[in-house]
Structure 1
Amino acid sequence: MSHETHTHGYIESKDKVLARLRRIEGQVRGLQRMVDEDTYCIDILTQVSAVKKALESVALGLLDDHLSHCVADAVREGGDVADEKITEASDAIARLVRS
């Protein structure tokens, strides 16, 4: 399957996604500092939860964009492309739920 045939939905909010990822990157560096400075385990775990929540938020935003653009366009086209995009989205949702 080619991912190059459609413009990805998140392109419209690419700067916002990148800013959020950079903020998460900073949070991860903060976790490294906390470990390096022998911070109390529970405080580190609290920050790990915050990073995980931030990543989940990015993932859900990307998923929403994907459903609104790529999947919706494929459904309008119909046929095998639609089935493929729906299966792909379902698999991505299953991976998010399991993580």
Structure 2
Amino acid sequence: MTIDNKTILNRLKRTEGQIRGIQKMIDDEKECIDIITQLSAVRSSIDRVMGMIVAENLKNCLEHPENSADEQAKKMEQAINMIIKK
């Protein structure tokens, strides 16, 4: 499965809308738990986008390896570090 830019941008636009909704919730003085719930959803959405991008990068590394084994290993290590960096 190839993740295209349109898919990633659509997810980010949805997340942007969620953030605007949270801002409105704060302006409207909504309950703390409701705001936290929405913030958690935004965090999950961003984590998902990050995972999609890193997974696509790893896939690309495997399908189109570098000429240098050292360079290939370096790219793979960077991608893995992005995943476990949390």
TM-score by length of structure 2 reads 0.86
- Paired with 1:27 and 1:78, the residues of 2 have a C-alpha distance of 43
* Number of equivalent positions: 84
* Contact 1:20/1:58, CA 8 A, preserved across alignment: yes
Structure 1 gaps of 5+ residues are 1-8
SS of residue in 2 equivalent to 1:38: coil
- Paired with 1:26 and 1:32, the residues of 2 have a C-alpha distance of 10
Structure 2 gaps of 5+ residues are none
Name segments (4+ residues, structure 1) moved above 4 Å. Answer: none
Give matches, 1:1-99, under 5 Å.
10=3, 13-69=4-60, 71-72=61-62, 73-74=64-65, 77-95=67-85, 98=86
TM-score by length of structure 1 reads 0.76
C-alpha RMSD over aligned residues:
1.6
**Identical-pair percentage:** 32
* Contact 1:67/1:89, CA 8 A, preserved across alignment: yes
- Paired with 1:81 and 1:30, the residues of 2 have a C-alpha distance of 44
- Give CA deviations for 1:57-86 in whole Å, capped at 9, x if unaligned: 1111111111111x21236x3422112101
